[in-house]
């Protein structure tokens, strides 16, 4: 019983990481740094609530969340691909923009700076927060297959090969007739859609939007991307590892076995370890962050 | 070149001309009756359904009853908090109020720079020196503090008593001796809530256990409803029936877990019943509005002086909600018990701790 509760909670916590990290893999694989996952998620969460609130249908909310993430990603894509803005600066700017814009529209639509009214979501009401509530939520199933499907697309399809080529060696890709910029646009916007889906999961799980509700999950997802060496399979495991650490902390916190500060450091410490190459070498896509 | 010079000349002329224009209502020097009050809100600003709205209500009352003129500043993230306070101080306001403990350092600094202006900080943190004695704020700065531990004591007693019932409202429960608490950021300000709550639980039920968990160690911990929901779900699953949160909007996740588990939660700072009707046992409320009004009134009467003002159960500075909405959830016998506990605390017969042991 304890094991099942632990597993269900780990999966629920991992869900936003799965989506956002999948977005991070796509974006970084085409050479654009995934620093604005946090902003995409926040925008996606807000648009989900907006869509659900006005339509009363969680599926329309979900689509709105995806669209919101894509819209935010389009801004990043235009700034970095069309206008060649510095990717780090543009990425951080998108995050700040998302925080400010969601807060502005929250007040405009719902007249509150704290949270939106309650909206419909997925999963049964009144059910105990265990397995049924977890797996009764269709987005959970979507989240579980996202990274495996992404792995298939990246490594088993011509489209995936082109995506990877653009991030590794854009000149070579171009010489073979691949439209580098077009694929980069697709990659970044796809990353926005996936991260927006992560925000949609958060918002529909809470049945509302609250100011800044992503609370750094986009950065943990980015850490998972790096720790998983840009490989969807390993990234999925990294997401699960980070989520399991959080679950362990939640389950054990009453016992005060480990200081909670320590558990909160885990994703970042592991990322640094991966980057300095203690456990195998983490080599990012060769053209990451570079525009020729 | 000549064109450019001409352009600059025209702009200069317009600029000088505009200096003589004074829009209506923008008088530079405050005149007439009534006080000029400046209030800088904490992050979120108006509409946070909590602190800032409470301060706004207090100011509104002062506008109506005392004829005060109030200017509000809503800072964004970070550094413009100090700028907002400084602006109001430099404009010669009679009283400048910062809403939230985050203003502590800025207010202390500005109070020294503007000794002629009165300042007040809601929840201002007061530090102690190495000997443990309290360091008093500057003579023109009032710290408006609340005895959160007293209100938390009462809702702790309520939580423990309700957890022993098998039927609350229209739902059945398994009576339990495990009582829940979810805090936001792991800091002394929130430990104060936990300490009072724990003392309240143990006062009415010495063999009860309090499960206390925190959402994190950064300010994000106050804005993470996802974490709040997971913490609360795991507590409810471990048999807890009632959880008290002191966690800002992280607590909204606790309410969501209460809905999902069909159990009860206790709100904080403001009456949060509307966030999850039927699942909110009560809310531990802080009278931010009364404190702000009180500070403005003191300036008006000329009795304002710096120092520490504490608002507790005795003067209605803290309390819990008991009204038509949640009356059905609190049995009469428990209500009677709470009233007698409240009297004992006010009379000083029950000491309430402010720190965790």
Kindly state whether residue B152 falls inside one of the protein's structural domains: yes
Query: Distances in Å between the alpha carbon of B308 and those of B174, B305, B317?
Result: 44, 9, 14
Q: What is the DSSP string of B238-283?
A: TT--EEEEE-TTHHHHHHHHHHHHT-EEEEEES--GGGSTTTEEEE
Subunit contact B212:A9, Cβ cutoff 8 A? no
B291 and B276 inside one domain: no
Which residues in chain A are closer than 8 Å to B221, comparing Cβ atoms? 215
B94 and B155 inside one domain: no
Cα separation of the two ends of chain A:
55
B109 and B227 inside one domain: no
Query: Distances in Å between the alpha carbon of A39 and those of A94, A100, A187?
Result: 6, 10, 16
Residues A174 and A182: their CA atoms lie apart, in Å, by 11
In this prediction, residue A278 carries a pLDDT of 59
Residues A263 and B289: their CA atoms lie apart, in Å, by 39
Digit-coded pLDDT (tens) for B300-343 = 999 999 999 999 999 989 999 999 999 999 999 999 999 999 99
Give the tokens for residue B249: 């909007």
In this prediction, residue B23 carries a pLDDT of 46
Eight-state DSSP code of residue B317: S
Eight-state DSSP code of residue B354: S
Kindly state whether residue B69 falls inside one of the protein's structural domains: yes
Subunit contact A210:B225, Cβ cutoff 8 A? yes
Q: How far is A174 from chain B (nearest CA, A)?
A: 43
B103 and B133 inside one domain: yes
Question: Cβ(B140)–Cβ(B115) under 8 Å?
Answer: yes
Per-residue pLDDT of chain B (357 residues; tens, 9 = 90+): 667 777 777 777 766 666 555 444 444 444 456 789 999 998 777 878 888 899 999 999 999 999 999 999 887 666 678 888 999 999 989 999 999 888 999 999 999 999 999 999 999 988 777 777 888 889 999 999 999 999 999 999 999 999 999 998 889 999 999 999 999 998 888 999 999 999 999 999 999 999 999 998 888 899 999 999 999 999 998 899 999 999 989 999 999 999 988 999 999 999 999 999 999 999 999 999 999 999 999 999 999 999 999 999 999 899 999 999 999 999 999 999 999 999 999 999 999 999 887
Query: Three-class SS of residue A3?
Result: helix
Kindly state whether residue B352 falls inside one of the protein's structural domains: no
Q: Taken in order B246, B236, A10, A56, is the CA torsion positive or negative? A: negative
Number of domains into which chain B is organized? 2
Q: How far is A216 from chain B (nearest CA, A)?
A: 8
Give the tokens for residue A230: 């840009």
Which residues in chain B are closer than 8 Å to A12, comparing Cβ atoms? 230
Residues A109 and A20: their CA atoms lie apart, in Å, by 26
Give the tokens for residue B257: 């877990």
Residues A192 and A40: their CA atoms lie apart, in Å, by 6
Kindly state whether residue B353 falls inside one of the protein's structural domains: no
Subunit contact A215:B45, Cβ cutoff 8 A? no
The partner residue sitting opposite B223, judged by closest CB among A9, A12, A210, is A210
Kindly state whether residue A42 falls inside one of the protein's structural domains: yes
Kindly state whether residue B85 falls inside one of the protein's structural domains: yes
In this prediction, residue A67 carries a pLDDT of 98
pTM of the complete model beyond 0.95 = no
Kindly state whether residue B243 falls inside one of the protein's structural domains: yes
In this prediction, residue A175 carries a pLDDT of 94
B219 and B231 inside one domain: yes
B212 and B260 inside one domain: yes
In this prediction, residue B25 carries a pLDDT of 43
How many C-beta neighbours within 10 Å does residue A214 have? 34
Kindly state whether residue A35 falls inside one of the protein's structural domains: yes
In this prediction, residue B27 carries a pLDDT of 43
Residues A249 and A236: their CA atoms lie apart, in Å, by 20
B208 and B282 inside one domain: yes
In this prediction, residue B16 carries a pLDDT of 65
Kindly state whether residue A282 falls inside one of the protein's structural domains: no
The partner residue sitting opposite A129, judged by closest CB among B45, B216, B261, is B261
B303 and B335 inside one domain: no
Helix axes A217-227, A260-276, angle to 10 degrees: 40
Residues A250 and B180: their CA atoms lie apart, in Å, by 13
Question: Nearest CA to A221 among A59, A65, A28, A63?
Answer: A28
B202 and B260 inside one domain: yes
- Which CATH number covers residue B168? 3.40.50.2300
Question: Nearest CA to A46 among A105, A95, A113?
Answer: A105
In this prediction, residue A95 carries a pLDDT of 96
Kindly state whether residue A230 falls inside one of the protein's structural domains: no
Kindly state whether residue B332 falls inside one of the protein's structural domains: yes
Rg (CA), chain B: 24
Give the tokens for residue A105: 């529209």
Q: Cβ contacts of residue B81 below 8 Å, gap of 6+?
A: B40, B75, B98, B102, B103, B106
Diameter of chain A measured on Cα atoms: 60
B339 and B217 inside one domain: yes
In this prediction, residue B49 carries a pLDDT of 82
Number of domains into which chain A is organized? 1
Give the residue numbers spanning the domain of A117: 15-218
Subunit contact B217:A264, Cβ cutoff 8 A? yes
The partner residue sitting opposite A213, judged by closest CB among B226, B236, B261, is B226
Give the residue numbers spanning the domain of B186: 148-286+322-346
B36 and B123 inside one domain: yes
B280 and B220 inside one domain: yes
How many C-beta neighbours within 10 Å does residue B14 have? 10
Kindly state whether residue A255 falls inside one of the protein's structural domains: no
In this prediction, residue A132 carries a pLDDT of 65
Residues 15-54 of A with CB under 8 A from B: 16
CB pairs under 8 A between A and B: 106
Kindly state whether residue B48 falls inside one of the protein's structural domains: yes
CA angle B31, B36, B41 (to 5 degrees): 150
Q: Which residues of chain A have pLDDT under 50?
A: 126, 128-129
């Amino acid at each position: 019983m304890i094991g099942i509760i632990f597993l269900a909670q780990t999966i629920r916590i991992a869900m936003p990481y799965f989506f956002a990290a999948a977005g991070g893999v796509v974006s970084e694989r085409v050479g654009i740094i995934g620093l604005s996952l946090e902003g995409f998620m926040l925008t996606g969460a807000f648009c989900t609530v907006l869509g659900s609130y006005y339509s009363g249908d969680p599926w329309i909310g979900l689509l709105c969340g995806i669209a919101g993430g894509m819209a935010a990603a389009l801004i990043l894509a235009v700034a970095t691909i069309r206008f060649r803005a510095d990717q780090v600066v543009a990425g951080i700017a998108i995050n700040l923009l998302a925080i400010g814009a969601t807060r502005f529209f929250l007040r405009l639509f719902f007249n509150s700076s704290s949270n939106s009214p309650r909206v419909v979501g997925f999963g049964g009401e009144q059910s105990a927060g265990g397995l049924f509530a977890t797996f009764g939520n269709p987005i959970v199933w979507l989240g579980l297959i996202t990274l495996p499907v992404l792995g298939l697309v990246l490594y088993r399809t011509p489209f995936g090969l082109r995506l990877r080529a653009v991030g590794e060696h854009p000149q070579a890709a171009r010489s073979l007739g691949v439209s580098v910029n077009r694929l980069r646009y697709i990659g970044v916007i796809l990353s926005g859609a996936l991260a927006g889906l992560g925000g949609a999961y958060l918002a529909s799980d809470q049945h509302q939007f609250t100011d800044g509700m992503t609370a750094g999950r986009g950065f943990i997802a980015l850490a998972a991307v790096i720790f998983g060496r840009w490989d969807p399979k390993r990234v999925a495991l990294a997401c699960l590892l980070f989520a399991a650490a959080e679950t362990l902390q939640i389950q054990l916190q009453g016992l005060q076995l480990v200081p909670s500060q320590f558990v909160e450091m885990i994703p970042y410490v592991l990322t640094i370890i991966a980057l300095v190459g203690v456990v195998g070498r983490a080599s990012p896509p060769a053209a990451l962050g570079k525009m020729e | 070149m000549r064109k450019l010079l001409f352009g600059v000349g025209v702009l200069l002329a317009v600029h000088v001309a505009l200096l003589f224009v004074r829009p209506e209502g923008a008088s530079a020097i405050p005149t007439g009756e009534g006080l000029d009050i400046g209030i800088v809100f904490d992050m979120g600003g108006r509409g946070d359904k909590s602190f800032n709205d409470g301060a706004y209500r207090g100011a509104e009352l002062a506008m109506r009853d005392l004829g005060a003129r109030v200017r509000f500043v809503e800072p964004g993230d970070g550094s413009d908090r100090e700028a907002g306070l400084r602006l109001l101080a430099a404009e010669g306001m009679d009283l400048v109020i910062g809403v939230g403990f985050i203003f502590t350092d800025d207010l202390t600094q500005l109070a020294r720079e503007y000794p002629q202006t009165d300042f007040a900080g809601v929840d201002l943190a007061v530090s102690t020196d190495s000997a443990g004695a309290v360091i008093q704020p500057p003579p023109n700065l009032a710290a408006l503090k609340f005895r959160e531990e007293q209100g938390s004591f009462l809702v702790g007693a309520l939580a423990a008593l309700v957890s022993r019932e098998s039927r609350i409202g229209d739902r059945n429960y398994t009576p339990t001796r495990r009582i829940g608490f979810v805090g936001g950021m792991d800091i002394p300000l929130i430990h104060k809530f936990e300490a009072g709550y724990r003392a309240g639980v143990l006062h009415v039920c010495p063999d009860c256990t309090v499960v206390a968990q925190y959402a994190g160690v950064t300010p994000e911990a106050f804005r993470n409803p996802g974490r709040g929901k997971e913490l609360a779900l795991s507590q409810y699953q471990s048999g807890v029936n009632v959880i008290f949160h002191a966690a800002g909007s992280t607590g909204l996740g606790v309410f969501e877990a209460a809905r999902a588990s069909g159990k009860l939660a206790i709100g904080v700072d403001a009456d949060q019943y509307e966030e999850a009707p039927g699942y909110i046992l009560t809310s531990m409320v802080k009278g931010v509005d009364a404190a702000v009004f009180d500070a403005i009134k003191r300036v008006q009467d000329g009795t304002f002086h710096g120092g520490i003002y504490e608002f507790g159960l005795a003067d209605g500075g803290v309390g819990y909600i008991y009204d038509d909405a949640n009356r059905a959830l609190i049995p009469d016998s428990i209500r009677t018990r709470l009233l007698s506990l409240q009297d004992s605390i006010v009379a000083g017969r029950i000491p309430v701790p402010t720190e965790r042991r």
